[in-house]
Chains A and B, each alone.
Chain A
Amino acid sequence: MRGEELNVDKNTYFDSFNRQLHLLGKVMLGVSFVAMIAFSFVVGAMYDVAPSLSGFLSGLLQVGIIYYPVAIVEFLVYAPMLGVGGSYLAFLTGNLTNLKIPCAMNARELAGAKTGTPENEIISTISVATSAIVTTLILAAGVLLMTPLQPLLSSETLKPAFENVVPALFGAFGLKYYLKSPKIAVAPFVIMTLLCIFVPAVRNNTSIAIIPAGLMCIGIGVLLDKMGKLGDI
C-alpha cells in the first residue's frame, strides 16, 4: 500500500512539474522566436533597408518545402525520446542529430533510465540543458577569442579533425548501439548502404535518409519483439 501511495504522489508531483515545464517552454520558445525574427528587421532598420518580401517568400518556399516536413518528422521521432523539458530545450538550442539526441541517449544509458518513466524525462532534460549550456559557453568563448583562435581552428593540419566530428560521433555510437541489438541493425544497414552507394540523392541528404532508416529499424524491432526474438535491449 505504502509503495502505491508513493507512486501516486510521484506521478501527481511529476504531472504538476511537467505542466510548469510546458508553460515555461512555450514562453521560452515564443520569446526566442520573436527576438530572432526581430533581429533581421532591426538590422535592416540600422542600415535603412528592409528584408525583401518577394525574396523572403521565394526563399522560404524553397527552404520550407524541404525542411518543414523534416522538422515535423524530427518532432514526431525525437520528442518521445527527449520528454517535455528535453524537447523544448533541444528544439530551441538546435543541433539535434549531431549533439543533443546522442547526448541524451548516452546519459539515459549511463543512468539506466527506461523510456516513458519520470526518471527518463529528468535525465533527458538535465542532459540536454547541460549540453546546451556547455555549447553556448564554448561558442561564446570562441566568438570572443575568434581572432586568436581562427588560425588554430582553420589550420590545414587540424582541418580533418574538425571536419570529421560527426563521423567520429556516429562511429562510436553506431558500434555501441549495433552491439546492443545487432538483429535490428543488420538489414537496414545493408539496404541503406546499397542505397547510398547507388543513389546519390540518398547519400547526399542524410537528414532525409534518417526517415526510411529509422522506420525500417522500428518496424524490425517491433516485429522481432512480437515474435519474442528481440531479447532485452
Chain B
Amino acid sequence: MNYLSQVNAPGLYLMVGAIIGFVLIMCVLFLVRSYKAGLAIGMDKAVLKKTIRNSAVFTVLPSVGILVGVIALSGALGAPLSWMRLSVVGALQYELNVADIAAKAIGLSGLNVSEMSAGAFATVSLVMTVGILGGGLCCIFFLGRYLRKLGGKKKPAEPASAENAPAENAPAPKKRSNIGNIAMVAMFIGLCTAYISSYIGTFANDVSSFLPLLTACVAAAVMLAFTALAKNPRFRWVENFDVALSMLIAMAAAVIAGGVI
C-alpha cells in the first residue's frame, strides 16, 4: 500500500467525518440557542433571520476558496487530513507553511510526496494540529475572565436589589464611552490595511504579481458603486449582497485579466 493510498484510506475518512460531524452539531446547537436567546431578549425575528441568510450568502465564495485549499493540500497530505484541517481550527494561509516546517523538522527536504511515509504523516499532522491550538486554548482558559474584565464586571449575573438601584433623584449616569466600538472598527480597518498594503507592496516589487491588487481594486470599485446605489431606497436591498457581489465581480475580473495578460 503506497503512501497516498494510506492517507486516503476509508478509515481516515470515517474518523474525520466523525470529528467534523461533532463540530457541525455543536455549530447547530450554538445557532439554535442563540436564536432562541435573541427572541427571549426581545430581538426582532426578522433581524435574526436576515443575519442567518446574509451570513450564509457571505460565506459561499470564501468557502469555495477554502475548498480549493483542501484540494491543494490533499495532493501531499491526502483528502481526509486536509478536509479536517480546513474545517476545524485550520486556516488556509497556515497549513501548507506549517506542514512544510514539520516535514523539514523530521529530516525531509520539505512537504514532498515522494519522501513522505505513514510515520512522517503522523508526525506532520500532529505538529499541524498542536501548533494551531493556541487561540482555542486561550478561549478554554481565559475567555470568561478576559471578557468580564473588558466589560468591567466583577461577576456575572449579580442579582439586582433595591439597595444597589440608583436613587430616582441621583444624577444621570455619565454616558458610557463607545471605546469598544471604536477599537473594534479600528482593528478591522487595520486588518484590511495589512492585507491591502501587502498587495501594493508585492506589486511594487514585482509588477507581474498584479492580480491580487487588481482584484482588490475592482472589488473596492464595485463596492463603491453598490454603496452609492444603496442610498436610493428602491435599491436598499443591495446592502444584503454587496460584499458577495463585489467579490464575485472582482474574481471574474481576475479570470479575465489572468487570461488576457
Interface of B is mostly: helix
User: Are the CB atoms of B138 and A49 closer together than 8 Å?
Assistant: no
Bound: A14/B105 CA distance, A:
47
Q: Quick one: which of B52-70 are within 8 Å of A by CB?
A: 52, 54-56, 58-68, 70
Bound: A166/B204 CA distance, A:
19
Q: A39-B15, A173-B243 are in contact. Are A107 and B51 (CB under 8 A)?
A: yes
User: Are the CB atoms of A72 and B138 closer together than 8 Å?
Assistant: yes
| A and B contact pairs by CB, cutoff 8 A, 6 listed | A13-B40, A71-B135, A125-B34, A126-B31, A169-B62, A173-B243
Interface of A is mostly: helix
Range class of the B interface residue count: 35 or more
User: Are the CB atoms of A33 and B51 closer together than 8 Å?
Assistant: no
Picked from B105, B184, B219, the residue with its CB within 8 Å of the CB of A58 is: B105
For B68, give the chain A residue with the smallest CB separation: A162
Bound: A161/B91 CA distance, A:
19
User: Are the CB atoms of A210 and B71 closer together than 8 Å?
Assistant: no
Q: How many residues of A contact B (CB 8 A)?
A: 167
Q: A16-B157, A36-B84 are in contact. Are A59 and B89 (CB under 8 A)?
A: no
Picked from A15, A207, A213, the residue with its CB within 8 Å of the CB of B157 is: A15
User: Are the CB atoms of A28 and B26 closer together than 8 Å?
Assistant: yes
Determine whether B207 belongs to the interface, using a CB cutoff of 8 Å to chain A.
Answer: no
Bound: A31/B64 CA distance, A:
27
For A88-113 the 0/1 string (1 means CB < 8 A from B) is 11011111111101110111001100
The interface residues of chain A lying within 8 Å CB-to-CB of B183 are 80, 218, 221-222
User: Are the CB atoms of B64 and A165 closer together than 8 Å?
Assistant: yes
